[in-house]
Structure 1
């Protein structure tokens, strides 16, 4: 096997750092749009929750309908609808500031794409430096998963452009993970250990990193969905005044939009994760002479699979849609996080290839 190209490895590290800085710049832009721009189309159309409008419309409105006269002041329809609408609408910034913020948001997408290309270059150069697929340790795996998280958000935004201003929420965990990878989890470029010198590495680990990177984006969207749905419920309560979290939630797109986006990402990722586990079992038989041995990594991979299978089943069950299913989704990502950090760093097993020195 060819030796390590030190200059290429150094270039890869530089591109990795540049990608973090670029993502951070884009995150600032998304945050500016979120704070000062208009609420997205879905958010505007769902500003007054359906439950609130139903309750308001059911009140007996004393209105001269036949004569086309105005609603009698003080009637239930006037007071209840106005109070709910006032509480549910986020503060509106001046028109000039909104236009500037939305222009910044559009440029943030461009900056995100540039960061994605730089990030891709970092991984590609690292592959050239080690002359192998560059995801054999935790640093490389985290880098690939972060890239997939960004790509997943861009793909979801392509289908639902009204969620563009949520980019800061998605880029924040990506930046944190990449920072952790570049500091605590960093590993110098080095040849593959003999156990990893197999074409199954490219298949198995690629599928896992793609699936888990996309599931990170789904988890972020799910948290935002829970915030928005809780706000939609609270805003119908008499006397409710939103605090800082409520104000943030009022600017989010409709809960249904966020829930649907999170579900679609899981529906895309789950088959990939399933195939990854199957490929891992085949590789284990070739390397260790057995398909499954309940190694800690294998056990937690199975737990993750079961949780997400329950989530998809819950989505298909009427009584478990919405918030209940969303919590199952977050439990699944919590299991992924535990598998990545605790099992790799604390628990020893056949899959201990963290690469930390």
Structure 2
């Protein structure tokens, strides 16, 4: 009897959802109970388990239906979740930080939950590709766009967290007495040099007594790392987005006879490209760092979701296979 994984679709979806929930709780607990190594190991194992199941399921759909598993919105959401898990595991391995999993696992949980619980069953099943998708450009264009979404969402989410921590740090500083500013400025600068942190000008003015505490110094160190991780991730995702848009234009010319039709999806893809182009431009040429670029990256987070899901609610344009209705 031929094995049919579709019969276990609900079991797999529920297993991934529950494992992500448990993993998220474990990561958050590990931030509170900082000395409990077992929590961290269990959280990492949970993230790896979800990645393995998702990768296996998508690979099976590819093998069974003979086309890349990006033919509908449901498959693209699972593919996005899988890419986020891959990136998170790699960066976590490189940085040894629990913050990465604590931020990315909730986002992945929301994506997987929306795909499995909100989309109707008919949209979760694979169907024959529409004529416009029956092209060798499918794998290149769609995979590049999804890879860019994953990396840019990753980087922009770190930017959002940067803004939150930065505001909290500045709020703590404003509650201190200004009389201590001059006294502690030199002392604070020496501590920054001793920890080898390179911070932008906005933190040179944070010189109150409270900033000398270990807790706030750790926040400064975290801000520096978040800024660095966000910049590197967005720097990787931007070329993917560029390749995705260019390949999409070539594919559109073959399928519809025009490189660019100002379709809602195309328009918002261009807006997304411009946002992150501005981010990289001001970062590289204007030497903007820290909160200024983090705000731009934070805007990019919401623009990506408008481009990826928001235009699907319109039900208009040439990308009809992505409609939610």
Q: Same fold (TM over 0.5)?
A: yes
Q: Which residue of 2 aligns with 1:342?
A: 310
1:128 pairs with one of 48, 63, 74: 63
Q: Contact 1:8 / 1:128 at 8 angstroms: preserved in 2?
A: no
Secondary structure of the corresponding residue to residue 309 of structure 2: helix
Describe the shift of the 1:252–1:25 C-alpha distance in structure 2 as closer, same or farther (beyond 3 A).
Answer: farther
Query: 152, 156, 173: which is aligned to 2:107?
Result: 173
Distance in 1 of aligned mates of 2:15 and 2:300: 31
Partner of 1:262: 230
* Counterparts of 1:26 and 1:338, CA distance in 2: 28
In 1: Cα distance, 2:316 partner to 2:40 partner: 45
Q: Name the residue aligned to 2:18.
A: 21
Match for residue 81 of structure 1? Answer: none
- Residue among 41, 46, 49 paired with 1:111: 46
Query: Does residue 249 of structure 2 align to residue 281 of structure 1?
Result: yes
Q: Kindly name which structure, 1 or 2, has the bigger radius of gyration based on alpha carbons.
A: 1
1:45-194 map, 5 Å: 98=35, 101-161=36-96, 163-186=97-120, 187=123, 188-194=125-131
Q: Which residue of 2 aligns with 1:85?
A: none
- CA drift of 1:354 comes to 2.2
Alignment of 1:320-335 (within 5 A): 320-335=288-303
- Cα deviation, residue 248, structure 1: 11
Give distance in 1, aligned partners of 2:240 and 2:311. 21
Q: Secondary structure at the match of 2:75?
A: helix
User: For 2:165, what is the secondary structure of its paired residue?
Assistant: helix
Higher relative contact order (CA 8 A, sep 6+): 1
Any gaps of 5 or more consecutive residues in structure 2? 178-209
Structure 1 residue 254, shift from structure 2 partner: 1.6
Task: Tell me the residue number matched to 1:49.
Answer: none
TM-score under structure 1 length normalisation:
0.74
Matched, 1:228 2:162: no
Following superposition, the deviation at residue 239 of structure 1 comes to 4.1
1:221–1:135 Cα change, 3 Å: same
Q: Secondary structure at the match of 1:202?
A: helix
**Separation in structure 1 between the aligned mates of residue 41 and residue 217 of structure 2, nearest angstrom:** 22
Q: Contact 2:88/2:104 (CA < 8 Å) preserved in 1?
A: yes
In 1, distance between residues paired with 2:8 and 2:64? 9
**Equivalent of 1:213 in 134, 147, 150:** 150
Give the secondary-structure state (helix, strand or coil) at the position aligned to 1:320.
Answer: coil
Match of 2:190 in 1: none
Kindly indicate whether the alpha-carbon contact (under 8 Å) linking 2:265 and 2:311 is maintained by their aligned counterparts in 1: yes
Question: Structure 2 CA distance, aligned partners of 1:201 and 1:30?
Answer: 36
Match of 2:33 in 1: 36
Task: Tell me the CA shift for residue 18 of structure 1.
Answer: 1.9
Moved over 4 A (4+): 247-253
Give the drift of 1:295. 1.1
> Number of matched residues?
286
Aligned to 1:11: 8
SS of structure 2 residue aligned to 1:291: coil
Give the corresponding residue for 2:240.
272
Provide the alpha-carbon RMSD of the alignment: 2.5
Q: Which residue pairs with 1:303 in the alignment?
A: 271
CA contact (8 A) 1:211 1:273 kept: yes
CA distance in structure 1 between the aligned counterparts of 2:299 and 2:229, rounded to whole angstroms: 18
Q: What TM-score do you get using the length of structure 2 for normalisation?
A: 0.81
Instruction: Provide the C-alpha distance between the structure 1 equivalents of 2:115 and 2:86, rounded to a whole number of angstroms.
Output: 18
**Contact residue 315 and residue 323 of structure 2 kept, 8 A:** no
